[in-house]
Amino acid sequence: MLLCGLRLYGQVPAADSIARKAADGLEAVKTDTTLAVQVDSLIRKSSGKPKFYPNPKRALRWSLLTPGLGGGQIYNRDYWKLPFVYAAYGASVYFIFLNIDRYGTMVDHYKSFYFLSDPSDKNTYGKLNPDVKTVQVYIKSQNRYADLDINQVKRFKDTYRRWRDWSFFALAATYSLAAIEANVAAHLKTFDLSDDLSMRVQPSFVQPQLATPAPGIRLVLLLK
């Protein structure tokens, strides 16, 4: 709190005049204070329900217990954030299933290069089939079929496996970030960020280097 005081005073000879002015000033201050309390009461009554202050721990708990549903954001009443949470979860889940499907397709194509039809044949089972040089693979992005050898199929298989793993990582990151965001947002809602700048004028008695105290005016500037 910063307190700035400015006193304006002058010497008056009559003691009764000093007392009368001081009493009038104190009565004015009392009246102002009463009016301020009444106005504050009216504001509180007209505002209805008190302001909502979420519990950060509860927001974090709701977010962790409701993955994909935005429970923490709903608890904080940040409904405008829900589309972003749903989009992040939806995109992660979509790419997980997409890459799982593509990886499984490439695994099947990769198996086509090996003898796997007869497990009882110990001489050929699990070994490369020299008669299979390429396999026909449908490339969805180009809407065509292509003949790929074993090295190309293996490269596609490893790529889709890596993308599948990254999709799971993105889902875990989305789950964590949604929970952290809900907790931080709840903390920020408990802070009073409004500026409080006020100044009031009130009477004051000063004691300069004179024989008799003199009435004056004091300006008080409050910074919070």
18-36 pLDDT, tens digit each:
445 544 554 544 444 454 4
Which residues of the chain are modeled with pLDDT < 70? Answer: 1-49, 192-224
C-alpha–C-alpha distance, residues 214 and 208, integer Å: 8
Position 216 scores a pLDDT of 66
* pLDDT number for residue 141: 74
Nearest to 24 by CA among 210, 198, 212, 215: 215
Answer for the pair 192, 213: CB distance below 8 angstroms, yes or no: no
Residue spans per domain, the chain = 2-51+193-223, 56-189
pLDDT at 41: 47
Q: If you compute the radius of gyration of the chain from its CA atoms, what whole number of angstroms results? A: 39
Which residue carries 């300069």 as its tokens?
Answer: 208
C-alpha 177/C-alpha 171 separation (Å) is: 10
**pLDDT score at 48:** 57
**What pLDDT, in 10s, does the model give residues 137-161?**
988 877 889 999 999 999 999 999 9
Instruction: Quote the pLDDT of residue 26.
Output: 46
Long-range contacts of range 145-151, CB-CB < 8 Å, 24 or more positions apart?
Answer: 148/109, 150/110, 150/113
